[in-house]
Amino acid sequence: DTDSDIANHAREIYLQAGRSHAMPPANVSQITDKERALLVAWFEGAGR
């Protein structure tokens, strides 16, 4: 993914990975709660 791709999909990343834990499916990448919290802080810190 490029920086542009991430910026264009920031809200979806925030909702699906940060808030709902729906992504990644079955947590195949083994994202931790700390990493999810970083996603939330990143999105909310951007003033979105």
State whether residue 41 is helix, strand or coil: helix
> What is the pLDDT of the chain when averaged over all its residues?
91
pTM score of the predicted model: 0.77
Provide the residue range defining the domain that includes 30.
3-45
pLDDT per residue over 20-30, tens digit each?
Answer: 999 989 899 99
**Does 33 have pLDDT greater than 90?**
yes
Counted domains in the chain = 1
In the predicted structure, residue 46 carries a pLDDT above the cut 90: no
